[in-house]
Structure 1
């Protein structure tokens, strides 16, 4: 009877996720030769070629792709068993990046649930724009990020798709005025799409506020001096969706994507990813796989 070794499987998954032995070795805190030896032993034990080394970068063979699915499951199960039987008290820090406009209402609930499961793990929440978050994630400074986009890049996971809607002051009239006065952030990815729809509809508009501060935008819109666009359901209680009866153009839908969840980094990382999935899928019940210490 042949037995698969979890340590070797971790090395295999790390190589598959990082795309190379060198980067995987750095992630695992092992030497490159040690990782290469583990992969060689794994291939010899199975009698299969798992990696295609013919190109400039390492790719998985068909057998490697099959093993990757099982390896992720085996590692996750191993970590869950160790956690539950040893009542390990997790410590450390995990960094989560979220665009300003989708922090509420989901993220506070996610953080509360995560803290209940891992009271000794600090979540470093970074609230920024999608472009900045993707840059930080690419540089390795964020473990998980959410984004708001009209597309999805490789490695991303689509959580949900929601429409953009026009936002104004309660019982406001700014949306009736022409040119239509807008308030947007300088780096907001929604603005080009909104402007494109207004131009297509032939509606005059004026960018009244261009700022780095969401508070400035909210104050301006709440004062009925301009209108804004937000993902449906994320508007603060002092603003409301505008019932414009087609006086304003319909706005495009936005994807809420998750990046970083495909790599297996342990139960802490995976639980936070699961909580984010459930929060944006609209499910309130989350089965936590961790035991808090």
Structure 2
């Protein structure tokens, strides 16, 4: 299998046919066709189904496309890293909604100012959803809530967060789990690390036996808590960014309240954009820079 054949294969897929791919690659169509046939011969499978003048990826071709894209991207990253090329192209970054709202604006503004050649796409989601997208290479890096245990990831700690329970403004003090036994829980869906932190504080493995109102927005969560629908656990930094929120804060034990947001990426796949973000994070973060976890 020749790397140049993979590049031709991907161009045929991207352009939707041999003629357009040949134009893009500055080759004659017969040369592109020959490359595809050579690749199919070396793989021992058909990569396309040919229907009149159109090509459709076969199941084997769809599988190879994923590997081809990864190999080409790694080749580009290696060239850029060795040559010291500035970040450019698409950078897919994930973040918790809380982090995106309360921590990232100044960081992303500075990144945008420094690296004008980068087109940054920000995706928000729960801790577990972001890790899945990172593992599936739908994201290049992500800010999550818990340091990943999987050896396939590397990370650096970034933001120190303190969690607090919130209730309606007129609710009595909450000091222990039994103070909220009759109250509904307002939280993000399953997969949220802060939801798991609340479960730990409640001393539960799940919230199956509790009334839970699942919402996907901190503004909606705060609004429902304000209206007396229940309690929630959220970062104080989010509340500080919502001065209009009319809720009461209830502190919990330091060991359960303090978390550190890490920046996570796939082990061995550090693009120039990820390197640039790590450097910027280290310079702007209040936490001291630490060695990436192994």
TM range (shorter): 0.5 to 0.7
* In structure 2, distance between residues paired with 1:24 and 1:225: 47
Q: Which residue of 2 aligns with 1:180?
A: 183
* Alignment deviations for residues 91-143 of structure 1 (CA, whole Å, 9 cap, x no partner): 42100000112112221111110111122321100011111111111111101
Residues 147 and 262, structure 2, Cα contact 8 Å, conserved in 1: no
Matched, 1:144 2:136: no
Alignment of 1:28-177 (within 5 A): 28-29=74-75, 78-79=83-84, 91-149=88-146, 152-154=149-151, 155-160=153-158, 161-169=160-168, 171-173=169-171
Q: Which residue of 2 aligns with 1:260?
A: 265
Matched, 1:239 2:236: no
Residues 99 and 130, structure 1, Cα contact 8 Å, conserved in 2: yes
Q: Which residue of 1 aligns with 2:214?
A: 210
SS at match of 2:164: strand
Residues 99 and 146, structure 1, Cα contact 8 Å, conserved in 2: yes
Check 1:244–1:95 CA distance in 2 against 1; reply closer, same or farther (3 A cut).
closer
SS at match of 2:202: helix
Check 1:279–1:184 CA distance in 2 against 1; reply closer, same or farther (3 A cut).
farther
Residues 142 and 264, structure 2, Cα contact 8 Å, conserved in 1: yes
Residues 186 and 213, structure 2, Cα contact 8 Å, conserved in 1: yes
Please report how far the alpha carbon of residue 227 of structure 1 lies from its aligned counterpart in structure 2 after TM superposition.
2.0
SS at match of 2:113: helix
Please report how far the alpha carbon of residue 255 of structure 1 lies from its aligned counterpart in structure 2 after TM superposition.
3.1
Residues 130 and 147, structure 1, Cα contact 8 Å, conserved in 2: yes
* In structure 1, distance between residues paired with 2:275 and 2:281: 10
Residues 166 and 250, structure 2, Cα contact 8 Å, conserved in 1: no
Residues 107 and 281, structure 2, Cα contact 8 Å, conserved in 1: yes
Please report how far the alpha carbon of residue 279 of structure 1 lies from its aligned counterpart in structure 2 after TM superposition.
4.3
Residues 167 and 242, structure 1, Cα contact 8 Å, conserved in 2: yes
**Residue number among 191, 194, 200 corresponding to 1:196 in the alignment:** 200
SS at match of 2:137: coil
Check 1:191–1:128 CA distance in 2 against 1; reply closer, same or farther (3 A cut).
same
Check 1:106–1:163 CA distance in 2 against 1; reply closer, same or farther (3 A cut).
closer
SS at match of 1:125: strand
SS at match of 1:149: coil
SS at match of 1:148: coil
Residues 198 and 249, structure 1, Cα contact 8 Å, conserved in 2: no
Q: Which residue of 1 aligns with 2:234?
A: 230
Please report how far the alpha carbon of residue 252 of structure 1 lies from its aligned counterpart in structure 2 after TM superposition.
4.3
TM-score using structure 2 length: 0.56
* In structure 1, distance between residues paired with 2:254 and 2:275: 40
TM-score using structure 1 length: 0.57
Q: Which residue of 2 aligns with 1:274?
A: 279
